[in-house]
Structure 1
Amino acid sequence: MKRKTEEYEVVVCGGGLAGFCAAVASARGGASTVLIHNRPVLGGNSSSEIGVTPHGAAAFHAYARETGIISELLIEERAMNHAEVYENGWTNSVWDLVLYNMAVSTANLTVHLNTNIQEVVLQGEGVSSSWADLLDEVTHQYGYSHRPTCHGNQPATIAEVKALVLNAELELTIRGRMFIDCTGDGLVGDRAGCEWRMGSEGREEFNEPHAPLQPSTDTMGSSIHFRAKDLGYPVTYHAPDWAIKHEDASYFYDQGRLPKEERGGYWWLEIGVPYHTIYDNEDIRHELTRHTLGVWDWIKNRDPVMKDRAKNYALDWIGQVPGKRESRRIIGRYFVTEHDVQNRTVFEDEVAFGGWFVDLHTPGGLLANSSEPCSAGEQEYNTFSEYSVKSYCGPYGIPLRCLMAKDATNLLMAGRNISASHAALGTMRVMGTTALMGQACGTAAAYAVRNKIATAELSHGDAIAAIQQTLLREGCFLPNVRNQDTCDLARLATATSSSDAQVSEAGPHTQGCHAGLAEWRDQPQYHQQQLDSRKGQLIAIGHEGIDVVSVCLTNRSGTPQSVEAAIYAVDHVWDYRVEPGPSLATAMLQVLPGEEQWVDWSVQLDAAQIAEHPQYLRLDLLTNPAVEWLTAGNIEPGMTSYYQIGAEKMRRFANGSTLSVRVMPHQSAYPASMVLSGTTRPHRSTNVWRSDPNQPLPQWLDLSWDSVQAIGLIELTFPGHLLREYHAYAPHYRDPQTPADYSIQCEVDGEWQTVATCTDNYQRRGIHRLPRGIETRKLRITVTRTNGDPSAAINEIRCYTDLQ
């Protein structure tokens, strides 16, 4: 056995998306960083070995897709990959290579693949893994750890981890100043003696809506996936004798295991209880293989619906690495409960956000009477059911303290092993969300190294402010924090443009630029245009006031109908309150029999009334099933729609579509000043400059200062890749809103000088280092070509003096 010792400032353990983003963020933050991963490819559950596609908040909320490092990766993968995203099992090696390329291209980052952590060593009288193993029987029985420490009442400090490089007979001792546990199973925290939980809290402990009456050690199960291929001719399948044999259609069609896709992708191929998600991992893998082959046998040979659809399909691939949903959760300096995610608690140390629903699978999976409760029996993803209404949550902020182990001075964690209850983990565990946690941890770790502080000092004061501003600068979004970077010179500038788009009309026949942007069919959608429930449409406003608002309706009843209408001011695009406050105007609209008729409402809201409110109003039409509110043919940027699902809760309508609406006078909702709003997506306003789509490109936007500025670095953020979840994006997709070709000019001695150009762009962020010595009072961004949208568009411009 060869032995080797390495030293780094930040040691990241686990190379799933949480660990990957943590390592890249740490290295970009200037810290020497190592990423240790026990598999041959990066990405964890998202890798081609397991094939779980990354989910996130945008599955349920318009404009809620995760940005930052995870966004860079997913945009690159879609631009490069020929494969359609159809859910679990599709992942090919293009995704693996996108991750690997970023890893090996990132300065300050070393990657050790096929490397398994064996031991954690603490400073002084540390807790070794051999000592920890003595408590395995106790923790297995009770599902939590309250470990006595060998270092008194003070938190431990991790000194090093010992790891074995598989197939190389090489043992590594890796020393570090900061450690980040992204192992999923909380391996580092466990071996360091940190307190942890596993299983479900009982209702009595926190009174969480989704908590069972009694606590248990049960966890959600693990899954493997399969992929099938259409050969164009009939193919037979004979399962091995050891595969599970299915004969009862109700097991699938009545118990939440709908086999609706012949290519594969079934999340419900899941086994947990009675197996232990950590110790019985190999038994789980074997049992999942037996069941998966049995499911394919059912589809091919006995399923009354699928056997004909699947007759030309052959089994192409089956995973052999179980993807875990839940195991240990390390106790941190804050413990997130379901109340935090449901009530959208505002944390001063907010560093990430989530918005998946409270998704708690039945612990037994395939061995239970039904799978995920939302999918089973009469629920069938009915968004109006009591269970669905109480499960819909977010977007909500995530505090840094729940990513900071309370029992260690230098340990952060990201992924499913964070400090949260079982119910809260149901929404926080998806990979889009865990990637944001990882970037937050890596950013915080690099800050701690630079400033020589322990984790306890990161969540308050100047430290958390600096971490939050760094996350925003690196492309992340925080619901309750905006750009306040004192080094950003653009915040001192005034923005003007060649032209501005306006909100005027979105009707059934207006056209947009969303080719290739689909609606992922596996998420519950509500496309019913009938007013069988209350519906609402956001209207982005300027400062013109509103004289008339019109809606395009159809009445096929043969008799005149009345529809009650109301207008409210809302806080932001995710304000799901049925009545967000007192109405600004109400009316009873009269709808004559006929199709596609515009019904006018003279609301007469003057500019002063509108100026008192944020830059979004919501127009609601109340229930009348005889009337249809028609969906617009285009999606007006930042103007999403809603429908009522419960007594006090609305929900996104039809994956972020715009309902037909017309506003007079036209609203200046996309002015140049939006690039200085401090937010890089639709939220409390549109937060995007868009040029007039009726004027040809090129179009430009200027920043002007009262005094000369020395500018060495310009950072741009563009729109795109936000409206819907990653699954909705087609192969080789490039968002039409994103500028493809643009240039940057500075005015020097009264003349424009081109200082940077970019061609064939499709990413959301553009970073440009200027020639030294540029001093100017005026900067211009000129967009000469987009990826399809007639409007040039920019979310944010930042300018800095230094080159860092």
Structure 2
Amino acid sequence: MKRRDFFKQTTLATLATGVGVSSVEARDKKGIKGELSAREKDNWYQVGEGKKGVPSRQKHAKYDVVVVGAGIAGICAAVASARSGAKTVLINDRPVLGGNASSEIRVTVNGVMHLKNKYKVERETGIVEELLIENWHYNPQESYPVWDHVVYDFVTREENLDVMLNTQALDANTKNDKITDILCWQASTETYFTIEGKMFCDCSGDGLMAAQAGAEYRTGREAKAEFNESFAPDKADGWQMGASVMMITKDMGRPVKYYPPKFMIPYEADKMNKRRIKHLKEGFWWVELGSEYDIIADYEENRHKLLGYMHGVWDYIKNSGEFPESANIVLDWVGSVPGRRESRRFMGDHILSQPEMQNNKQFEDAVAYGGWSFDEHCPGGIENPSEPPSYFHARFEEVYQVPFRSLYSKNISNLMFAGRNVSVTHVALSSTRIQATCGLMGQAIGTAAKLCIDKKWTPRELTQKDISLLQEQLLRDDVYIPNRPSNDQKDLAKQAKSIIASSTSSGNCQLLVDGLGRDKIDEVHHWESEGNNATVQMEWEKNVSLSKIELKADTNLYRNMMMHKNPEKNAKQVTAVPPELLKSFTVEARVNGKWKEVANVKDNLTRLVKLSFETVSTSAVRLKLKETWGAKNIRLYEVRSYS
């Protein structure tokens, strides 16, 4: 593949020569594997060795799966891939993980909310839920910098997973229709990395790596007629939803004056249609700027103006006289990195659209779900005050499905996507962009990557030949796929002749093997004990060879658990480990007529608990469930067993 004109015409060319690459043209001929580390002008005298040296600024690595972008989508993709057994690298261009959710930007990890049913919430499980529970356990103070480290620990402790921070994926080499390797620049070490891989996942939002590989993408708003979208404009245009900067305040307990910076842009309250200042604690998401043509090229200009507009709002609060209650309130943090909502949307074999989501189309290749309202932000953002800042076009009766065909490239055969850059329309993106929904997509493609490698299939071939392989693994890993119960033939629990419980206050212990890992509205799929210290026992007619027990406990999926910039929003949440969650239990197997303990769990923090132990030949297994994190009863949704 020829090097893109992009590299020659932008500051990347300056960057390359600045670190000693002899010429961009030479790199163009040699490709990514050229002599990137030639540093003829580097005048380095190594005092310790007493001689001249040449810095080594080129490295090469090989992985099974390469994930670019470490927002919630990329984190879930990388962790899922690594847990599947693939040697994985997670590449992030920032010094912290989390993307829009990180301390640099501080967007709440929202998920399915605002549903038009009695619960309103259908919370996401799997990897994204693990992260949120751990955060409440280790970070009850709701500190965003501490959250960064909770996420960092979560990712870096994962076996098979390497993490590269401060690293931008700049370019990609392709052969035929496959990416062979990518070029990365790690600013903190002044090093170029050539990363080879078998499967590539672009979860970076903007998708520079995928664009450099030649993956087809589009930007802007589709016309109504293209996908029969009632919320789309009559005529297609180039507008993309904008980026926002956020802020947080604190009370000093005494009056403090505010002196705005010179770059402040005044807030004209009389012109700001529905952009009203309703509180002084955190915000304001409507300090936002979109772009009509190329929001990536406009980034730095927009960032500068956004900072000006944010300080303009605060200047109005402090100095207009309209908010006397602000006398003691000061800015404690203002974001310097805008949080983006939209840029490139890469095209897959399917483009998810508004009618499919509203009509709850059932996809044979469904692998994730969403349910946030159609929440389209207006063109131009704060510079277009004639329109309101956001249109909550419609809410959903129930969650919609996301097909796998929207998560891989239609023209690059080993490239997948998760996050805001997937194959959806502009209107559809106004819902699918929500971070917990993006996390489900990430877990789906991370899991799919290892299956594709093992089967030597492309993602398209996985869809066509046996999508149930992916779906069954996701269901086993506690990802909910609406209207798709599990039917895992390897699960020995389904073969048990009987399942009995010491007590039952609701549900039925037979429901633990019905293939549904959560309740549905007015439809029970759980067993719940009367009190703690309960027992569930499975019996087989003949001995089975057993080495794994897996169960799904309760975390109350109809209640939110995200961290907020404004703790006042936690009124309807539990700001701790869910009290319903099973905390401690043991597993016993009956061997030669005697009960033998094979697993002992204490201080459990996950809804899905997977236990492995030395293989036993047994006719029965007994779960001795001791206590929860606070609830008076113990609830389970599923029990599985494997040899």
TM-score, structure 2 length as denominator?
Answer: 0.86
Are 1:228 and 2:249 matched, yes or no?
A: yes
Q: What amino acid maps onto 1:469 in structure 2? A: E
**3-state SS of paired residue (2:104):** coil
Q: What amino acid maps onto 1:24 in structure 2? A: V
Match runs of 1:420-431 below 5 Å:
420-431=424-435
Deviations 1:124-147 (A, max 9, x none): 6xxxxxxxxxxxxxxxxxxxxxxx
Are 1:4 and 2:66 matched, yes or no?
A: no
Q: Distance in 2 between matches of 1:31 and 1:785?
A: 35
**3-state SS of paired residue (2:124):** coil
Q: What amino acid maps onto 1:777 in structure 2? A: S
Are 1:777 and 2:622 matched, yes or no?
A: no
Q: Distance in 2 between matches of 1:681 and 1:256?
A: 39
**3-state SS of paired residue (1:67):** coil
**Number of residues of Structure 1 aligned to a counterpart in Structure 2:** 575
- In the TM superposition, residue 779 of structure 1 has moved relative to its aligned partner by 1.4
Match runs of 1:374-773 below 5 Å:
388=393, 390-392=394-396, 394-462=398-466, 464-493=467-496, 494-502=498-506, 670-683=507-520, 685-692=523-530, 696-727=531-562, 728=570, 733-770=576-613, 772-773=614-615
Alpha-carbon spacing, 1:167–1:754, altered in 2? closer, same or farther (3 Å): closer
Alpha-carbon spacing, 1:32–1:284, altered in 2? closer, same or farther (3 Å): same
Q: Distance in 2 between matches of 1:293 and 1:168?
A: 34
Q: What amino acid maps onto 1:76 in structure 2? A: E
Structure 1 runs not aligned, ≥5 long: 85-90, 125-155, 376-386, 503-669
Alpha-carbon spacing, 1:480–1:236, altered in 2? closer, same or farther (3 Å): same
Q: Distance in 2 between matches of 1:3 and 1:491?
A: 53
Aligned counterpart, 1:558 = none
Alpha-carbon spacing, 1:282–1:275, altered in 2? closer, same or farther (3 Å): farther
- In the TM superposition, residue 793 of structure 1 has moved relative to its aligned partner by 1.0
Structure 2 runs not aligned, ≥5 long: 1-36, 38-56, 563-569
Aligned counterpart, 2:633 = 791
Q: Distance in 2 between matches of 1:775 and 1:312?
A: 69
Aligned counterpart, 2:309 = 291
Residue of structure 1 aligned with 2:147, choices 89, 95, 102: 95
Q: What amino acid maps onto 2:548 in structure 1? A: L
Whether the 8 Å CA contact 1:341–1:393 is kept in 2: the answer is no
**3-state SS of paired residue (1:9):** strand
**3-state SS of paired residue (1:288):** helix
Deviations 1:780-801 (A, max 9, x none): 2122221221111111111111
Alpha-carbon spacing, 1:730–1:312, altered in 2? closer, same or farther (3 Å): farther
- In the TM superposition, residue 303 of structure 1 has moved relative to its aligned partner by 6.1
Residue of structure 2 aligned with 1:205, choices 213, 219, 226: 226
- In the TM superposition, residue 288 of structure 1 has moved relative to its aligned partner by 0.5
Aligned counterpart, 1:66 = 124
**3-state SS of paired residue (2:375):** coil
Whether the 8 Å CA contact 1:712–1:769 is kept in 2: the answer is yes
Q: Distance in 1 between matches of 2:158 and 2:548?
A: 19
Q: Distance in 2 between matches of 1:113 and 1:286?
A: 25
- In the TM superposition, residue 761 of structure 1 has moved relative to its aligned partner by 2.2
Alpha-carbon spacing, 1:456–1:797, altered in 2? closer, same or farther (3 Å): same
Q: What amino acid maps onto 1:186 in structure 2? A: G
Residue of structure 1 aligned with 2:138, choices 69, 73, 80: 80
Whether the 8 Å CA contact 2:286–2:389 is kept in 1: the answer is no
**3-state SS of paired residue (2:376):** coil
Query: Larger % of helix: which?
Result: 2
Match runs of 1:230-309 below 5 Å:
230-248=251-269, 250-252=270-272, 255-273=273-291, 276-302=294-320, 304=322, 307-309=323-325
Q: Distance in 2 between matches of 1:688 and 1:469?
A: 20
- In the TM superposition, residue 431 of structure 1 has moved relative to its aligned partner by 0.6
Q: What amino acid maps onto 2:428 in structure 1? A: A
Are 1:340 and 2:356 matched, yes or no?
A: yes
**3-state SS of paired residue (1:783):** strand
Q: What amino acid maps onto 1:115 in structure 2? A: T
Q: Distance in 1 between matches of 2:256 and 2:588?
A: 61
Alpha-carbon spacing, 1:445–1:344, altered in 2? closer, same or farther (3 Å): same
Percent identical: 38
**3-state SS of paired residue (1:272):** strand
Aligned counterpart, 1:109 = 161
- In the TM superposition, residue 476 of structure 1 has moved relative to its aligned partner by 0.8
Q: Distance in 1 between matches of 2:257 and 2:60?
A: 54
Whether the 8 Å CA contact 1:56–1:355 is kept in 2: the answer is yes
Alpha-carbon spacing, 1:766–1:467, altered in 2? closer, same or farther (3 Å): same
- In the TM superposition, residue 168 of structure 1 has moved relative to its aligned partner by 1.4
TM-score, structure 1 length as denominator?
Answer: 0.69
Q: Distance in 2 between matches of 1:676 and 1:784?
A: 21
